């Protein structure tokens, strides 16, 4: 049976930390592009995706559950009601591959956590979801490891560059342009005029319309 993959998604005014280089409509298009990449990886890994969306949204490749509540509240409702293993995977992981997702859900441990850049949590796989709850924001990776320990659940830390790279800040766009060639997210950035730039030995991004060097 396919593993349920829950993908939290904020379709309206997402990725505000990219406001310095992307207008709201562009951020919404970029968020949708990253979501397509995550959906492709999740589906190819044999999981059945459901979007947990903050507002109205439709996608041909996923079921959608709408819940305007905050991230933790809505996810904890899903976990408490679930009877089968659940993968929670964020929508801002455009480098995700089917192999990385499959490795995570194939863990021998009770659960697996993929840390994100800067202390966050990019994916959580839990075999008995009703024994676990999430606490996102801040150093959520540390909190999620502690919650696993308190619940007596063995936990593998997923060692994956592709699941570790979440796109929050303008610096992260470099990773998409380098390692995400061919992805929907990379195509989206290229169509918006983004390209790599190297200045004083540092790799950054520049935009044809308004040059932004990192």
Ligand X SMILES: C[C@H](OP(=O)(O)O)C(=O)O
Residue 8 binding result from ligand X, ligand GTP, none, given CB thresholds of 5 to 8 Å by partner type = ligand GTP
136 contacts ligand X (rule: CB under 6 A): yes
**What are the φ/ψ torsions at residue 195 (nearest 5 degrees)?**
-150, 160
Q: How far apart are CA 151 and CA 109, in angstroms?
A: 13
Cα distance between residue 158 and residue 112, in whole Å: 6
User: Can you tell me which of 128, 135, 168, 171 binds ligand GTP, judged by CB under 6 A?
Assistant: 168
User: Considering only 76-84, 90-98, 142-150, 192-200, which stretch makes contact with ligand GTP by CB under 6 A?
Assistant: 90-98
Distance CA 84, CA 90 (A): 19
- Segment lying near ligand X (by CB under 6 A), choices 104-112, 118-126, 189-197, 204-212: 118-126
| Euclidean distance between CA atoms 156 and 109, whole angstroms | 6
Nearest to 214 by CA among 155, 154, 174: 174
Out of 9, 30, 125, 132, which residue is the one contacting ligand GTP (CB under 6 A)?
9
Work out how close the CB of 121 gets to ligand X at its nearest, in angstroms, rounded to a whole number: 4
Q: Which does 140 bind (CB under 5 to 8 A by kind): ligand X, ligand GTP, none?
A: ligand X
Q: Can residue 78 be called a binding residue for ligand GTP (CB under 6 A)?
A: no
Reading the block at residue 199, the tokens are 């200045």
| Three-state SS at 19 | coil
Q: Does 166 bind ligand X (CB under 6 A)?
A: yes
The dihedrals phi and psi of 101, each to the nearest 5 degrees, come to -65, -45
Q: Tell me how far apart the alpha carbons of residues 148 and 42 are, in angstroms, rounded to a whole number.
A: 23
Residues at the interface with ligand X (CB under 6 A): 116, 118, 120-121, 136-137, 140, 166, 168
Footprint of ligand GTP (CB under 6 A) = 8-10, 14-17, 52, 54, 70-71, 74, 90-92, 168
């Amino acid at each position: 049976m396919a593993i349920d993959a829950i993908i939290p998604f904020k379709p309206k005014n997402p990725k505000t930390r990219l406001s310095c280089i992307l207008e709201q409509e562009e951020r919404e298009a970029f968020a949708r592009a990253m979501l397509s990449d995550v959906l492709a990886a999740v589906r190819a890994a044999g999981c059945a995706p459901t979007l947990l969306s903050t507002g109205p949204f439709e996608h041909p490749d996923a079921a959608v559950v709408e819940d305007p509540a905050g991230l933790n509240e809505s996810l904890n409702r899903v976990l408490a009601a679930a009877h089968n293993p659940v993968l929670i995977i964020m929508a801002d992981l455009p480098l995700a591959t089917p192999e990385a997702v499959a490795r995570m859900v194939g863990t021998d441990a009770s659960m697996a956590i993929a840390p994100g850049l800067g202390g966050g949590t990019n994916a959580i796989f839990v075999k008995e979801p009703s024994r676990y709850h999430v606490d996102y924001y801040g150093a959520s990776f540390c909190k999620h490891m502690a919650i696993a320990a308190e619940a007596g659940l063995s936990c593998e830390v997923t060692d994956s560059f592709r699941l570790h790279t979440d796109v929050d800040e303008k610096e992260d766009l470099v990773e998409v342009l380098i390692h995400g060639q061919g992805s929907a997210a990379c195509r989206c950035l290229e169509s918006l005029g983004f390209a790599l730039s190297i200045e004083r030995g540092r790799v950054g991004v520049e935009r044809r319309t308004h040059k932004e060097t990192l």
